[in-house]
Amino acid sequence: MKPTVLVVDDDRKTVDLIRIYLERDGYRVLCAYDGMKALELARSARPGLIILDLMLPQVDGLDICLILREESTVPIIMLTAKTTEEDKLVGLDLGADDYITKPVSPRELVARVRTVLRRVSLPQENGPPEVEFGELVIDFVRHQARLSGLTVHLTPKEFTLLSTLSKQPGRVFTRLELLEQVFGFDYQGFERTVDVHVMNLRKKIEHDPSHPRYVQTVYGIGYKFEDGTGA
């Protein structure tokens, strides 16, 4: 059975159109038209994915994303009428997994939903259930990390990024490689997206994000993972 999708937008015609296409594809759909109702449904129904408009009455989409990221790792696709790179990066910076600009193409949106859910549910490759790098423990079974014994709340993308890097310590990944492996070959993004997610990941797993022990920059190329014993 496909997971439930929560669609949040104050434009009822947009919500109805998205709902029709998602239901045709086999998803159960919940709808909300303001920020308060969206938070209520996200907490009570625990959907498998949320499609979230940025401009909402009562509580806007960015605040909802920020609140939910403190509470869960539910995948979030943001809808936005803003098309500049900076506007899109704001949502990604708060933990959104993808974005799509308005006017919405329902078929493209359904394809994005499939892609995001597929990445979240990919089975783990054969290997240890968890690995330990000093104070950092990465649990591949539970899709979580622990730092000094405390659980680190990572978004699905952040965990995939950490998992990808940590499985090959010392290997340098280009931004394009990470964009393809973490976001998928069909992700309509840009390489700076990787920088945003690395920055967010460092805030959560590094004691001093400005001098990272684990996720290190290789200038002019990309990033690599070190075991924390020294750069």
Domain ranges (residues) in the chain: 4-121, 130-225
Q: 3-state DSSP call for residue 94?
A: coil
Q: Tell me 104's DSSP state.
A: P
Q: How far is CA 142 from the centre of its chain?
A: 16
Matching residue, tokens 């937008």:
9
Show pLDDT as tens, one digit a residue, over the chain (231 residues): 789 999 999 999 999 999 999 999 999 999 999 999 999 999 999 999 999 998 899 998 889 998 988 888 889 999 887 666 676 677 777 778 888 888 888 999 999 898 888 877 655 555 678 888 989 999 887 888 999 999 998 888 888 899 999 989 999 999 888 887 887 655 555 677 888 889 999 999 999 999 999 999 999 899 999 986 554
Q: What is the pLDDT of residues 11-42, one digit of tens each?
A: 999 999 999 999 999 999 999 999 999 999 99
- Fold of the domain spanning 130-225: Arc Repressor Mutant, subunit A (1.10.10)
Strands 136-139 and 130-133, bridge-based pairing: antiparallel
Report phi then psi at 185, rounded to 5. -65, -25
Q: Tell me 135's DSSP state.
A: T
Q: Give the homologous superfamily in CATH for domain 4-121.
A: Response regulator (3.40.50.2300)
Model-level pTM?
0.67
CA distances for 48 relative to 4, 120, 128, 147, 152, angstroms? 5, 10, 27, 26, 20
**Measuring CA to CA, which residue among 18, 17, 92 is closest to residue 62?**
92
Cβ burial, residue 219 (10 Å; 0-12/13-18/19+): exposed
DSSP line for 136-201? EEEETTTTEEEETTEEE---HHHHHHHHHHHTSTTPPEEHHHHHHHHH-TT----THHHHHHHHHH
Q: Which residues neighbour 181 within 8 Å (Cβ) at sequence distance 6 or greater?
A: 164, 173
- Radius of gyration of the chain, Cα coordinates, nearest whole angstrom: 18
